Structure 1
Amino acid sequence: MTVTEPAPVPAPATGAPLPALAARARSIGGSPVRDILAVTARPEVINFAGGLPAPELFDADGVAAAYQAVLTTAPGRALQYSTTEGEPALRAALADRTTARGLPTAPDDLLVTTGSQQALSLLATALLEPGDTVLVEDPCYLAALQVFGFAGARVLPVPGDAHGPDPEALEDLVVRERPKLLYTVPTFQNPTGRTMPAERRAAVAEVAARRGLWIIEDDPYGELRFEGERVPWIAAHEAARDRTVLLGSFSKVMAPGLRLGWLRAPEHLRRACAVAKQAADLHTPTVNQLAAARYLADRDLDAHVRRVAAAYGQRRDAMLAGLADALPEGSVWNRPEGGMFLWAKLPEGYDTAALLPGVVRHDVAYVPGVPFYAGEPDRATLRLCFVTQTPGEIAEGLRRLGAALRS
């Protein structure tokens, strides 16, 4: 399994050679996860590689009704250009949800984006010059590494443990390397599924306040909790309120095809991101925003999320039940309290990237851990997504995985 590299500019049939691609396009490869999904798209493959919500759990009827209502009552508005900042009705609803979860938020604190992935790109545009230093978790969400790489940043991992980045190591790096920002997914992290405890979040907030550091707090999975108590956002800590950007998304709780995300940021940074968005796509599609606002007004999204989380909890349990038989003796893995992912480490000497082609021949797939590391990777690690398949499919997929690894 190889990472797709950007194609070179083809030689023209006639005339002078064309100018080269930009250095950033030549140096940043494609997403290994996307590459694996393309290779394993056959229907017989049980795919633990993607970060795909379970489609049978989408509230398709509710979403369809919301679109129908919007296109029936306000077609001219729904199909028209909108403001860069986002539709007022949607921003008001998002502000209410954020405030109810412990972070007082006004509609004008928010910028609606085309998925939270775009929010990351806008922040990189607004904050980073080529050569700036960015700190990330170890391992880190792969697409964030791509964004920072395209921005020309120098990306350094913060040493940590099963609870996330270590605050003392973070402070040492900030003093020594003078980074612009720390990127973190503190709740049900991608790829590990771990959650940063409340006391560590407070310590990270204090480091940012004491040393002068932006924090980008990405929270696409936080509502998908199966057990345990909710942990407050880093952005809710007083020390970090003026320097934390909180990212949210409907992709994991409503549907990724809507491509709706948002960022909550201090005013001057939010304005800079709005200008960057004007250059990127002018605004997020109006009809999608209005449909989401109508859905929030007419339906109980929290009840829907509870149903989804309950189903995902059963699927996590099915995966945990089968891992001991599937993975080699001496393997270790975690038990996430929510989210979509589980992280496993095989015994020393195993290379999950080298093993993957043989595993795929058994009609099952995972993501090797290597591409999630900004620094030296642990080649014995892998990520498993447990939400896309039913418990029965998970059991069969683990049976295939065990057979592949034994062979």
Structure 2
Amino acid sequence: MFNDFKPLEGDRPVRIQVKDYLKRLIIKGALQADQKLPSTRELGSLLGVGRNTVIAAYADLEEEGFVYALPGKGSYVALVSVGADEPAASWRTDWSSRVNGYARQAVELDRMKRGIRAGKDAISFTSIAPDEQLFDLDNFRRAFLDRMALEGNVLLNYGYAKGYKPLIDYLMRYMEHKGVDLRGKDMLITSGFTEGLDIVLSALGKSRGGAVLCENPTHHTAIKNFKLNGFEITGIPMEHDGINLEELERALSGRKYDCAYFIPSYHNPTGIVMSPEKRIALMKLMAEYEVPVIEDGFNEELRYSGAHAMPLIASAGQGNGVIYLGSFSKVLFPGLRVGWVLADKELIDYLESVKRARNIHTSTLDQSVLFQYLHNGHLDKYLKKARAEYKRKYELTKACCEKYIPFARLSGDGGLHLFLEFAAGFDTHRLLAACSAKGVIFTPGDMFFMDGGGVNTMRIGFSRVKDEDIREGIRIIGEVAEQLGE
């Protein structure tokens, strides 16, 4: 006994490893109740650790009730209730027959599980997450320490379903600076964009048949959430400056819709920024047909050139028909999982209760540290640096696509990705399989379409790809695409 202990390298203290090792022996019955344990010096020698390490491990085990000490005699195994020799009842459940339709559909829609995995040295254009090399770690660390010094005890306790008030106040001013009329509006803090969308959809009624309008293609996560929440999706094709308004009006006149979902800036996946004129015309149509709008503020901060485009909620003035979903995930720190819903006060009141019923509140610690980082004035400085780097990568990727894949139509006005459309009949899944064999992967575009289209499209995410890999990867994609098109 005791000859199978091997301390693991890493930052886990050896005394904890020894404690856990002995605890496992006790639970498994290898060490019996009232059995005398080796002396600290003897066990240290057997395990190859210091005596003080064993003393500390014995003390921890005694604290947890696994060991008891007799003065002058040593340490003994305590009587631990870990169950009878034979389990009282043991059975296996066929969970595939027990899960509901929601879970089954979630698996069917989960493209991440079935996608091609990048090898260790592969060039991957699949991610549109921010580059962690740009993260402002020093100022984030300072923000954490500042906030913990001010109210650490409070932050580690329960918070409020609606959100951390200093952060709400900051974000309300932030949205006001985007041109939003805040009268009659309120905000809910969520665990990222996805939870915000899911909460909104779960709260909306389906009095008009459970139908939703959106651009086609659109954000795959949104498509999943619409389907999981029981909405029927109608996709409207895109033009070079945003959604096709004629097709949109035709759809609006044909039936009633419970809501619409739009990504006006750096649209995912096409990267198109909707023109100011089209934004105004779009909102007039929505008002005319009285269709509530869910606006995804995706990548709004990553404007590389041109004039600032006001969000749809700003053009709605004092109207209350727009629900804005915001997040800094694509420009700051997605690991924090902090997003927000800005909408009519009455709706936010409902959403707050839904949020409380689901997970009580978004992490107050995450919210408070984000607030302190923003409050300390670091956002603008960080965005300036991030925009400069992403703009450089955007222009490099665009130039490489124009050079190596000139036969594909390119779209994307900024953000962290570009979108390519090949000739009709071209299959980007075949292209992906062939490129994967050469160490390059990307995202086929059909996952963003809800009508079976887009097989001839693909998304190129460049935010986390090195310059030399951008050049090499796109060169390979272009060569393979040309061969497949012959």
Q: How high is the TM-score relative to the length of structure 2?
A: 0.76
Evaluate the alpha carbon distance shift between residue 98 and residue 126 of structure 1 in structure 2; reply closer, same or farther with a 3 A threshold. same
CA distance in 1, matches of 2:181, 2:318: 14
SS of match in other structure, 2:216: coil
Superposition map of 1:75-114 within 5 A: 75-105=152-182, 109-114=186-191
Superposition map of 1:138-157 within 5 A: 138-157=216-235
Deviation at 1:279, TM superposition (A): 1.9
What one-letter code is carried by the residue in structure 2 that aligns with 1:140?
A: T
Alpha-carbon deviations, 1:14-52, whole Å to 9, x = none?
58988532222223424325643x711x33111111121
2:419 corresponds to 1:340: no
SS of match in other structure, 1:190: coil
2:454 corresponds to 1:375: no
What one-letter code is carried by the residue in structure 2 that aligns with 1:226?
A: Y
Evaluate the alpha carbon distance shift between residue 110 and residue 150 of structure 1 in structure 2; reply closer, same or farther with a 3 A threshold. same
Contact 1:91 1:107 in 2 (8 A): no
Q: Which residue of structure 2 lines up, in the alignment, with residue 24 of structure 1? A: 102
Deviation at 1:196, TM superposition (A): 0.6
CA distance in 1, matches of 2:184, 2:291: 25
Evaluate the alpha carbon distance shift between residue 317 and residue 16 of structure 1 in structure 2; reply closer, same or farther with a 3 A threshold. closer
CA distance in 2, matches of 1:43, 1:265: 44
2:252 corresponds to 1:174: yes
Superposition map of 1:8-407 within 5 A: 19-28=97-106, 29-33=108-112, 35-36=114-115, 39-40=117-118, 42-105=119-182, 109-129=186-206, 132-238=210-316, 241-327=319-405, 330-336=407-413, 338-406=414-482
What one-letter code is carried by the residue in structure 1 that aligns with 2:165?
A: P
CA distance in 2, matches of 1:167, 1:387: 31
Evaluate the alpha carbon distance shift between residue 108 and residue 69 of structure 1 in structure 2; reply closer, same or farther with a 3 A threshold. farther
CA distance in 2, matches of 1:106, 1:240: 7
* RMSD, aligned α-carbons: 2.2
Contact 1:134 1:154 in 2 (8 A): yes
Evaluate the alpha carbon distance shift between residue 240 and residue 381 of structure 1 in structure 2; reply closer, same or farther with a 3 A threshold. farther
Alpha-carbon deviations, 1:189-229, whole Å to 9, x = none?
11000011111111111111111101011012011111111
Deviation at 1:73, TM superposition (A): 2.7
CA distance in 2, matches of 1:233, 1:380: 31
Contact 2:184 2:318 in 1 (8 A): no
CA distance in 2, matches of 1:108, 1:239: 11
Contact 2:236 2:243 in 1 (8 A): yes
Evaluate the alpha carbon distance shift between residue 121 and residue 156 of structure 1 in structure 2; reply closer, same or farther with a 3 A threshold. same
**What residue ranges of structure 2 are gaps of 5+ in the alignment?**
1-89
Determine which structure has more spread, i.e. the larger CA radius of gyration: 2
Contact 2:206 2:258 in 1 (8 A): no
CA distance in 2, matches of 1:270, 1:208: 21
Moved more, 27-36 or 251-260: 27-36
Contact 1:332 1:346 in 2 (8 A): yes
CA distance in 2, matches of 1:201, 1:143: 23
Q: How high is the TM-score relative to the length of structure 1?
A: 0.90
CA distance in 1, matches of 2:93, 2:177: 63
Contact 1:49 1:383 in 2 (8 A): yes
CA distance in 2, matches of 1:276, 1:17: 28
Contact 1:333 1:342 in 2 (8 A): yes
Contact 1:133 1:154 in 2 (8 A): yes
What one-letter code is carried by the residue in structure 2 that aligns with 1:175?
A: S
What one-letter code is carried by the residue in structure 2 that aligns with 1:164?
A: G
What one-letter code is carried by the residue in structure 1 that aligns with 2:467?
A: P
Contact 1:331 1:344 in 2 (8 A): yes
Contact 2:409 2:422 in 1 (8 A): yes
Larger RCO of the pair (alpha carbons < 8 Å, separation 6+):
1
Q: Which residue of structure 1 lines up, in the alignment, with residue 9 of structure 2? A: none
Evaluate the alpha carbon distance shift between residue 172 and residue 78 of structure 1 in structure 2; reply closer, same or farther with a 3 A threshold. same
Evaluate the alpha carbon distance shift between residue 398 and residue 142 of structure 1 in structure 2; reply closer, same or farther with a 3 A threshold. same
CA distance in 1, matches of 2:388, 2:273: 18
Evaluate the alpha carbon distance shift between residue 14 and residue 355 of structure 1 in structure 2; reply closer, same or farther with a 3 A threshold. same
SS of match in other structure, 1:193: coil
Moved more, 205-214 or 156-165: 156-165
What one-letter code is carried by the residue in structure 1 that aligns with 2:345?
A: E
CA distance in 2, matches of 1:71, 1:290: 9
Deviation at 1:299, TM superposition (A): 3.0
Alpha-carbon deviations, 1:86-140, whole Å to 9, x = none?
1110011111111112113379711100001111000110114495001111101
Contact 1:350 1:379 in 2 (8 A): yes
CA distance in 2, matches of 1:17, 1:242: 44
**Percent identical residues:** 26
CA distance in 1, matches of 2:323, 2:384: 26
Contact 1:33 1:49 in 2 (8 A): no
